[in-house]
A and B are shown apart, each in its own frame.
Chain A
Amino acid sequence: MITGVVLMNPIKLDLTKLLGFRALKTKDALGAKQGAKLGGKAGTKP
């Protein structure tokens, strides 16, 4: 539900014009899909 704002115009986004979305061609952002890269020689503690 939208509060406090009347949505006058639909929001139309072109994924091909968006950094990080074009590479996936979906509404998922690239960073979210790839996740953080954690250097891990330290790795998981035994």
Chain B
Amino acid sequence: MSAISPIVDAFDFAPDAERGRALDRGMRSELAASLRHLAAAGAGAVRFEVDAVAAVIEALERGERYSPFLFATYFDLAQALLDEDVGHAERLFAELAAFRPIERRFRIEPLGCGPSGAFADRYAAMMCADPSIDLNILPPDRETAEAFIERLNSAVALMERAAPSAIGEIREIIDEIVIVAGDKSRKTQFDGGSHYQLWGALFLNCDYHPNVVAAAEVLAHESGHAFLFGCCRDEMLVENDDEETFASPLRADPRPMDGIFHATFVSARMHWAMSALLASGFLDEAEAAFAEAARAADAANFAAGLGVVEAKGKLTRTGAALMGGAKRYMQGAGVRFEVA
């Protein structure tokens, strides 16, 4: 039986900034250790600037932070070395050595702007890599992006008052919120996205989320995916075959069980966030009505997703611990669903 993180083993569903910090520290220290292993394995077989790569690793170990694209570069480099593609590995070591630390955290930047602006095309390529989904991610127009950033900043301020543990956890695991637009000519549109190989980044579609409560909900949604990524350092959430797909509570297209698990878990996260906002007394009448409706949808989506997960999911210990926590929270919140 494989070891799982103590964070997962003693999982309590409520967001927690300290736990977020521990997850983030774990991902970054694992990145440093993994890069050290790649540098050692590549030495003598691949040409690279040893001191420059070591400087990046040492800075990571000191706690300095880089663009989320450093994680993507690591994954590409590991794959190149596993494939013994020396030329590609040399290019990636050179890219790695060129990364510089970024001090400003919790940045909100349109795609193509800010310290990760140079990686915009590769961010979009990674988020649109599934050939079965007709989708594109574009830089937003300035006016739409500015209006959304204003809503998002208001949502963050609201959560600081009404859901401090949630925004505290989000601030610990998210360094960069990338504001994007969808390509309206494509079949698939999206609210937002995240990627295991881009730890620290969230992508939010500024064409949606028309008010402050909706912006808070999508933050809770997308950061919920990131939270799950951080829990998957040692094992996956599920052992189901990716070829096997199921109806998703949150997407129109059938998804593998890993996607159903994610959608179900983040529905509970959104329910938690909406409940916290409603309980705070800081919402006006229209905002409260929006949050009530969103919370009801979150509850229905959770129940639908949980039914699929419990009927067909082959959960790992990590997956069982996390979904167990979500289920206990939803039961405690009075959400009704069939108990397996």
- In-complex Cβ contact of B41 among A7, A11, A27 (8 A): A11
- Docked Cα-Cα span, A13 to B79, in Å, equals 10
| Chain B residues whose CB sits within 8 angstroms of the CB of A17 once the complex forms | 33-34, 37
Q: Given the known A-B contacts A11-B81, A33-B242, are A39 and B196 also in contact in the complex, defined by CB atoms under 8 Å?
A: no
- Rounded to whole Å, the gap between the CB of B321 and the closest CB of chain A is 15
Find out whether the CB atom of A31 lies under 8 angstroms from the CB atom of B196.
yes
In the assembled complex, the Cα of A21 lies from the Cα of B233 at a distance in Å of 9
How far, in Å, is A39 (CB) from chain B's closest CB?
4
Give the size range of A's interface with the partner.
Answer: 35 or more
Contact of B221 among A27, A39, A44, A45 (CB under 8 A): A39
Q: Please, which residues of chain B bring their CB within 8 A of the CB of A24?
A: 236
Q: Interface stretch among B125-133, B163-171, B284-292?
A: B125-133
Residue tally, chain B, CB below 8 Å to A: 66
CB–CB A29/B75 < 8 A: yes
Q: Does B31 contact A (CB under 8 A)?
A: yes
Instruction: Establish whether residues A19 and B251, one from each chain, have CB atoms under 8 Å apart when the complex forms.
Output: no
In the complex, what distance in Å separates the CA atom of A33 from the CA atom of B189? 22
Asked whether, in the complex, the Cβ of A27 is within 8 Å of the Cβ of B45, the reply is no
Interface residues of A in 1-15 (CB under 8 A from B): 2-5, 7-14
CB contacts (< 8 Å) of A4 on chain B: these are: 87
Given known contacts A2-B87, A5-B86, A18-B34, is B236 in contact with A36 (CB within 8 Å)? no
* Complex contacts, A31 vs chain B, CB 8 Å: 75, 195-198
Contact B189 A36 (CB under 8 A): no
Which A residues touch B115, using CB under 8 A? none
A33, chain B: closest CB distance, angstroms: 7
Residues of B within 8 A of A (CB): 27, 30-31, 33-34, 37-38, 41-47, 74-75, 78-79, 81-82, 84, 86-87, 90, 126-130, 133, 135, 182, 187-198, 205, 208, 218, 221-222, 225, 232-236, 242, 248, 250-253, 258-259, 262-263, 266
Complex A-B, nearest 8 residue pairs according to Cβ-Cβ distance, in ascending order: A31-B197, A31-B196, A40-B251, A43-B252, A44-B252, A39-B191, A19-B30, A9-B44
List 20 other contacts, CB 8 Å, given A11-B82, A40-B251. Answer: A5-B90, A7-B45, A8-B44, A12-B41, A19-B34, A21-B78, A22-B233, A23-B232, A30-B232, A31-B196, A32-B75, A37-B193, A39-B250, A40-B190, A40-B250, A40-B253, A41-B250, A43-B188, A43-B253, A44-B189
Q: List 16 A-B contacts (CB under 8 A).
A: A5-B46, A5-B87, A8-B44, A8-B45, A13-B81, A17-B33, A22-B234, A32-B79, A38-B188, A38-B190, A39-B190, A39-B191, A39-B193, A39-B218, A40-B263, A43-B189
